[in-house]
Structure 1
Amino acid sequence: MQEYQRKQLLERVNKESATIGADIPDRIEVQGEEIDLRTFVFEIKRRDTIPDGERERVERAKRNLRRERLERLERIEENRVDFETGEALAASIIGIDRALEALDTLRPADVEGEARRQETMDQKRWMSFLKKALGQEDASGSKRGGY
């Protein structure tokens, strides 16, 4: 593949608007496993929230999709494919991005519980920041002055 072709493919994949109008692939091989991606996404998406029992399955799918996206992108970046294969990889990356966007917009079924967890985490981060800012903790998180 020529350098300008590789750059065009990378620009196409990295464009913020790349997923507009893009379809989620029917089937895709992710981490060596063939999955019905479109069916999976629509099955989860039709609920509008992620039931507690499905949360781990959805998170695992998102991790695997991100890993697969990265591997496909690296094949283009490292110029390890011909242009035709690069075009197919770019289209599949955009399809993966579209699926990830759909899965990322889902809310947990327990919205109030999730909000409480987020608030607790925010408070912990704020307290950690204050301790560091006031010199009560060093960068490693250990307390100073024998506290």
Structure 2
Amino acid sequence: MKDFERKQLLERVEREGAIVGAEIPDRIEVQGEEVDLQSFVFEIKRRDTIPPGERERVDSAKKNLRRERLQRKQLIEDGDVSYEEGERLADAIVGIDRALNALEQLGSANLEQEAQAKEAADKKRWMKFLKKALGHEEADSGTGRASRGL
């Protein structure tokens, strides 16, 4: 492989938008083991949250995918492969990145939902406090206007 071809492939796998439109590979060899990557990712994403028992499995899969991505990228960097093999490696890296992105989004979406729920609860408590402080509580609380006989 020529230097400019290697640089081109490395640039492609590091490009921020590389995963846009990319597909998760059906099957991929990760750390010497064949994995049905697409079905694994879809199985995990189908659930709204990752059950505690599955969290370790997902974290392990992400770690192995990152390691596999690094190994494939190093093969391209070393330049000891043909350009065609480099293209196959780059395609696999982009597919791995797509799978990692999908798995990472699942965790961050849950955190975002939790943050939104917490913010809504905080607003509700704040409004209740303000109503009470300003004397606008319901008549049955004994602190509002209705209890004063107005």
TM-score by length of 1: 0.73
CA distance in 2, matches of 1:48, 1:83: 41
Q: Which runs of 4+ in 1 moved over 3 A?
A: none
* One-letter code aligned to 2:53: G
Matched, 1:87 2:87: yes
User: Do the aligned residues in 2 keep the contact of 1:10 with 1:76 (CA within 8 Å)?
Assistant: yes
CA distance in 2, matches of 1:80, 1:51: 43
CA distance in 2, matches of 1:78, 1:41: 30
User: Do the aligned residues in 2 keep the contact of 1:28 with 1:35 (CA within 8 Å)?
Assistant: yes
Unpaired runs of at least 5, structure 2 = 116-150
Aligned identity (percent) is 66
Structure exhibiting the larger radius of gyration computed from Cα positions: 2
> Residue by residue, what CA displacement relative to the aligned partner does 1:99-119 show, whole Å, maximum 9, x if unpaired?
0000001138x86xx98xxxx
Counterpart position of 1:127: none
Bigger helix share: 2
Matched, 1:44 2:57: no
Aligned pairs for 1:59-74 (under 5 A) are 59-74=59-74
Counterpart position of 1:5: 5
CA distance in 1, matches of 2:40, 2:61: 9
> Residue by residue, what CA displacement relative to the aligned partner does 1:39-83 show, whole Å, maximum 9, x if unpaired?
000000011311111000000000000000000000001112110
Aligned residues: 114
CA distance in 2, matches of 1:67, 1:80: 19
Unpaired runs of at least 5, structure 1 = 116-147
TM-score by length of 2: 0.72
Counterpart position of 2:22: 22
CA distance in 1, matches of 2:107, 2:50: 6
* One-letter code aligned to 2:95: G
What RMSD over aligned residues (CA atoms) do the two structures have, in Å? 2.0
